[in-house]
Amino acid sequence: MFKAILLEQGADGKTIARLSDVEDAALPEADVRVAVQWSSLNYKDALAITGRSPIVRKWPMVPGIDFAGVIEHSDHPCWKVGDKVVLTGFGVGEGHWGGLAQRASIKGDWLVALPTGFDAKHAMAVGTAGFTAMLCLLALERHGLKPGDGEVLVTGASGGVGSVAVALLASLGYRVVASTGRLDETDYLKSLGAESVIDRATLSAPGKPLARERWAGVVDSVGSHTLANACAATRENGAVAACGLAQGMDFPATVAPFILRGVTLYGINSVTVAHGPREQAWARIVRDMPMAKLDAMTQVVRLDEVLDVAPRFLEGKVRGRLVVDTAAA
């Protein structure tokens, strides 16, 4: 038996979430079984747990889109018992049982080795959010963005993706402008390296097709009008990396920034990244992520606290990264 957050669909279609004792035999069939040591709570997990968005594609479901732990059993040629591994993406927590549990049965092809220099807790302090932030940074770098090119905007900066993006960009010498709906977090964002902090209200309302050129690059986790306005104010031949939809999945923009200024919009999909690029991204995280700043943005919750925390997450009352101690339940 092991403990897990279990989601079931009620007769009325509503999501029923509870902390449950689950038999090992209930685990889905896969070639690797992992003792999960740490997981994290992400925006998508909170949506699944509360039922506020149709995240779950198969019932019952264990949510948790990432985890880190130790292999207990393996029929996969690349992994053996005792290996330390990390999982992010691949629809885990949506269509395949995920990491908000003490045990996971998973495809070995989806795993990467725990990066040297990280323990399982710090790997989940990065988690899917930090991995996504690094993919955004890599896209901007491939575009040609360099420190010294000008201001780089990070939207949703108080959240998981935003916090890691601010810290990573600042550590590499970029001038980071953090956009947030919580100006009381200004000191926190500046401690991560933001040069300045702006109110998200300046970006979240309908705007003009083109605005004054300001941003050399953008990391956007918000979508909707915020993304449209970020593109409208991006400088000639600049780039925007879009990875989230906290404000909405609509994109009420025009083609003006793209055809009049040569702005490039990169879509960032962190779910199905191939193994090689996945390892490369983790290697850059280990190299470039300041550990003191990672610790400063991380809060630890117990597995048995997740159900209470999830609604607060969606209400914007949580900053940075929420790491889940799966042993504490």
**Whole-number pLDDT of residue 226:** 98
Confidence of residue 271 (pLDDT cuts 50, 70, 90): very high
Q: Collapsing DSSP states into helix, strand and coil, what is residue 137?
A: helix
153: phi > 0 → left, psi -120 to 50 → alpha, else beta; which?
Answer: beta
Provide mean pLDDT across the span 51-69: 95
117 or 227, higher pLDDT: 227
Provide mean pLDDT across the span 312-320: 87
Contact 138, 202 (CB under 8 A): no
Q: Quote the distance between the C-alpha of residue 80 and its chain's center.
A: 28
**Whole-number pLDDT of residue 253:** 97
Q: What percent of the chain has pLDDT over 90?
A: 95
Return the number of other C-beta atoms located less than 10 Å from residue 309's C-beta: 18
Structure confidence by residue, pLDDT tens digits, 122-155: 999 999 999 999 999 999 999 999 999 999 999 9
**Whole-number pLDDT of residue 315:** 87
**Whole-number pLDDT of residue 76:** 98
Q: Is the pLDDT of residue 200 over 90?
A: yes
Confidence of residue 328 (pLDDT cuts 50, 70, 90): confident
Among 228, 229, 224, 277, smallest CA distance to 246 is for 224
Structure confidence by residue, pLDDT tens digits, 155-193: 999 999 999 999 999 999 999 999 999 999 999 999 999
Can you name the residues that pair with 16 across neighbouring β-strands? 8
pLDDT, the chain, mean? 96
Q: Is the pLDDT of residue 215 over 80?
A: yes
Q: Considering the entire predicted model, what is its pTM?
A: 0.96
Q: Is the pLDDT of residue 321 over 90?
A: yes
Confidence of residue 11 (pLDDT cuts 50, 70, 90): confident
**Whole-number pLDDT of residue 317:** 83
Q: Is the pLDDT of residue 247 over 80?
A: yes
* CA distances in angstroms from 70 to 7, 73, 106, 125, 323, listed in the order given: 24, 9, 12, 17, 17
**Whole-number pLDDT of residue 8:** 96
**Whole-number pLDDT of residue 203:** 98
